[in-house]
Amino acid sequence: MHPWKHFCTITRHRWKVCSHCFRVGLYWRGLTHDLSKYSPTEFWTGAKYYQGTRSPNSYERELYGYSAAWMHHKGRNRHHYEYWTDIDPKTKVYRAVPMPRKFFVEMVMDRIAACKIYHGSAYTDADALNYLVHAEEVRDGSMMHPDTRRELLYVLTMLRDRGEKETFRFLREVVLAGKPFAVPAQ
């Protein structure tokens, strides 16, 4: 059990996301980001499976085939694309739906902050894109709506190629302003 190390890690992550969200004008999303990680369901699992280099939920999932902490987390935090599934009224089957812009931007900030926390001084602006590409190679990404995926790839590629300052400006002035971007070719 590593409750103090886990507490420090999730708190550093939260404040990194908060700082990033403030830079683009998402004050409330930054302040309320990941508060469920302090709930008993998520916190004690995180302390038990803490490793410091990756999410404790990954280790819990390896042991049991699922992560109860992740199930709790994704059901309460709208910045995870997995939250955005619903039953299609026509087919009566669960399907992914597009994410609203403010939660999409919070998701981007979450991914950047997680890479910064776990990679430390080795962090580069390519890390979040590399993680997304690797994750899609490992598992089926069909739970992410195609529009959300296309937009996420666009923004993370911009981060890799143009850096954080330009990407955050784009998120503030284009994405959060509701302007179209990453439009599919006709």
Mind listing the pLDDT tens digit for each residue in 112-143? 999 999 899 999 999 999 988 877 666 666 68
From the CB of residue 83, how many other CB atoms can be counted at a distance below 10 Å? 16
Burial class (CB in 10 A: 0-12, 13-18, 19+), 1: exposed
Q: Does the residue 184 lie in any domain?
A: no
Q: Does the residue 161 lie in any domain?
A: yes
Q: Specify the pLDDT at position 171.
A: 98
Q: Which residue range(s) make up the domain with 13?
A: 3-175
Which of 83, 82, 70 is CA-nearest to residue 37? 70
pTM: 0.90
Q: Specify the pLDDT at position 81.
A: 92
Q: Does the residue 180 lie in any domain?
A: no
CA atoms within 13 A on the CB side of 150: 10
What is the SS3 assignment for the chain? CCHHHHHHHHHHHHHHHHHHHHHHCCHHHHHHCCHHHHCHHHHHHHHHCCCCCCCHHHHHHHHHCCCHHHHHHHCCCCCCHHHCEEECCCCCCEEECCCCHHHHHHHHHHHHHHHHHHHHHHCCCCHHHHHHHHHHHHCCCCCCCHHHHHHHHHHHHHHHHHCHHHHHHHHHHHHCCCCCCCCCCC
Mind listing the pLDDT tens digit for each residue in 60-80? 999 999 999 999 999 999 999
186 residues of the chain, pLDDT tens digit each: 899 999 999 999 999 999 999 999 999 999 999 999 999 999 999 999 998 778 888 899 999 999 999 999 999 999 999 999 999 888 999 999 999 999 999 999 999 999 999 899 999 999 999 988 877 666 666 689 999 999 999 999 999 999 999 999 999 999 999 999 887 765
Q: Does the residue 183 lie in any domain?
A: no
Q: Specify the pLDDT at position 52.
A: 78
Q: Specify the pLDDT at position 174.
A: 96
CA 98 to chain centre: 15
Q: Does the residue 38 lie in any domain?
A: yes
Q: Does the residue 162 lie in any domain?
A: yes
Q: Specify the pLDDT at position 140.
A: 61
Q: Does the residue 186 lie in any domain?
A: no
